[in-house]
Amino acid sequence: MKDRSGLESIDDWATPKWLYDELDAEFHFNFDPCPLHADFDGLAIGWGVSNFVNPPYNRIDKPKFIKKAYEQWRLGRGSVLLIPAATGTKEFHDLILPHAEIRFLRGRVAFEGLNSKGELTTTKKGMHDSMLAIFHAGGWEWVTVGKFRPMTAA
């Protein structure tokens, strides 16, 4: 896949440690279904009880990971997705908005990885604002600030 400049796009960007640590302190992650350079297919296996998901941001993989997080939530497993704040997508309206807590992040996240020139960078900011979509574990869905209800049938 090529980026806007016509160069080959690399879709392997690490979450900044400070952000992961902050979320892990709150959610106590026990699985990452899409770590960098994984030797497994996170879409083909069951997930943990509390999952951190920073999926590839491309148009093919990102929707699949959102759908998988939703399916795992229906099984009682929680997931925190770090994704672009794309509020016009089908996945946002059908899966995230009605069932997940949404937290918009202030500013753009500086991801860590190799840029399209093969240079390591820790200051590369995504082209989009970011948000957290939180599917809370245990079959509870977000209603409004601080309020949950038993999940509804799909």
Question: How many Å apart are CA 21 and CA 136, to the nearest integer?
Answer: 18
Element (H, E) at 103: strand 101-104
pTM assigned to the model: 0.82
Q: What is the pLDDT of residues 68-89, one digit of tens each?
A: 999 999 999 999 999 999 999 9
* DSSP character at residue 52: E
Domain residue limits, the chain: 13-150
Top-confidence residue, 82 or 119? 82
Q: Are 138 and 78 in contact (CB under 8 A)?
A: yes
78-84/50-53 β-pairing = parallel
Provide the residue type at 75 as one letter. L
* DSSP character at residue 31: B
Binned at pLDDT 50, 70 and 90, residue 7 comes out as very low
Question: How many Å apart are CA 130 and CA 51, to the nearest integer?
Answer: 18
Residue 22 sits at φ, ψ, to 5 deg, of: -65, -45
Residues in the chain: 154
Q: Which CATH class is domain 13-150?
A: alpha beta
Q: What is the pLDDT of residues 37-58, one digit of tens each?
A: 899 999 999 999 999 999 998 8
- Mapped onto helix, strand or coil, the DSSP state of residue 64 is helix
Residue 152 sits at φ, ψ, to 5 deg, of: -90, 160
- Mapped onto helix, strand or coil, the DSSP state of residue 20 is helix
